[in-house]
Amino acid sequence: MNDFEYRNGELYCEDLRVSDIADKMGTPFYLYSRHTFISHYQAIDQAFNEIPHIICYSVKANSNVALLKLLANEGSGADIVSGGELYRALKGGIDPGRIVFAGLGKTAEEIEYALKEGILMFNVESSQEMLLINEVAEKMGKQAPVAIRVNPDIDPKTHPNIATGLKESKFGIPLNQAMAEYEVAKRLSSIKPVGIHQHIGSQILESGPFEASLRKIANLANSLKVLGMDIQYINIGGGFGIQYTDEQPPTPEQFAAAIVPILSGSGCTAILEIGRMIAGNAGILATKVLYNKKTEEKEFLVVDAAMNDLMRPALYQADHHVAPVKSLETAREVVVDVVGPICESTDFLARDKVIPEVAQGDLLAVFSTGAYGFCMSSNYNSRPRVPEILVSGKKAYVIRRRETYDDLITWEAIPRDF
């Protein structure tokens, strides 16, 4: 489901023309479809309905509290990796009993905050982290529910920068050490092992890596139960891939068809830390062409969005579909680099992209930016961050306003004696 479509040569988001929003709001801006966001969540939820499961939306994918509220209304949980993300999830109305705390650098303050709020569990990444959680929980007179993140040494067949399930990764505990770690956890007075966690990578475009890793995880769960541990949850992680350009990822139903048979006899509730598949194609970045620039080697479109607004192309060499907001069938196709105003050679949104020819002042849409778009943005080059706008039918809501120059220095101070 995707509610961004062309009608008579004009790009719409649900029932509003993107060009009309640009006229009112200026550019650049992030634009999200409420219907797409919700329908993606519902499709995943329905696909896994044969087994007990909780979708814990990956807050890092897009953490705007309005979007978290939409998911809370659907019954979603949250996968968080910081105290700030816990705060956002709670402000968005997500039930703390459906929140899992991942990430390998949790602080004592974050652990205390999460225990106080009564989250579902911590995903533990190391022996020292386990001891710290036990220490904090003991001081608070609480028992901390945990799942150990197991590294199954599976190649997720994705970009190296987002592969997390290989043995050289910083994440998780090697599978051959997991049993010993669970035995330690069982002996700690304020730790309660309740699950097993894995996360092998992001933007995974086939089900095979999940099947291979989850067979190992399911076997571990059975072994732990034989030893008397009350393992109630198997957290499969996230990483379900989406279409950015010409990829053909499995549908939620196809992922489920591969995964559900492996977990159906485990007696455990499955946890899915899904972010990109929910948010990715529910958003675009709208930007305006500032200049057409030609050299002997290249043709450039200099636009008013930049790498500080969308980091993925510079960070991961990510390839997003880019197209004019107003499409003319008679326009000839050109090969261009779409670049921003930032003083870095890596400041590009697309390289060697074939698009219909556009002129100065025309609008472009960078598609599939609902995940890892605004949430990775910065103020580099002292550029104010752009607004986020949510469309619901014929209504548009500003869910984050455009920053001003004053906002850039809000938290800065010149010492009095300067």
**Mind telling me the catalytic residues?**
343
Cα–Cα distance between 230 and 79 in angstroms, integer?
Answer: 22
Neighbours of 54 (CB within 10 A): 22
Q: In DSSP terms, which residues pair with 303 in a beta bridge? A: 289
The answer, yes or no, to whether the previous bond of 261 is cis (omega within 30 of 0) is no
Q: How far lies 182's CA from each of 168, 223, 392, in Å?
A: 21, 11, 47
Cα–Cα distance between 98 and 109 in angstroms, integer?
Answer: 20
Q: Is 251 helix (H, G, I), strand (E, B) or coil?
A: coil
Cα–Cα distance between 133 and 116 in angstroms, integer?
Answer: 13
The contacts of residue 241 (CB under 8 Å, 6+ apart) are 158, 202, 203, 204, 205, 247, 249, 250, 276, 277
**Phi and psi (nearest 5°) for 84?**
-65, -40
Locus of tokens 């100065």 = 360
Neighbours of 213 (CB within 10 A): 26
What is the H or E stretch that residue 222 is in?
helix 208-226
Locus of tokens 């190296």 = 160
Cα–Cα distance between 197 and 149 in angstroms, integer?
Answer: 4
The contacts of residue 115 (CB under 8 Å, 6+ apart) are 136, 137, 140, 142, 144
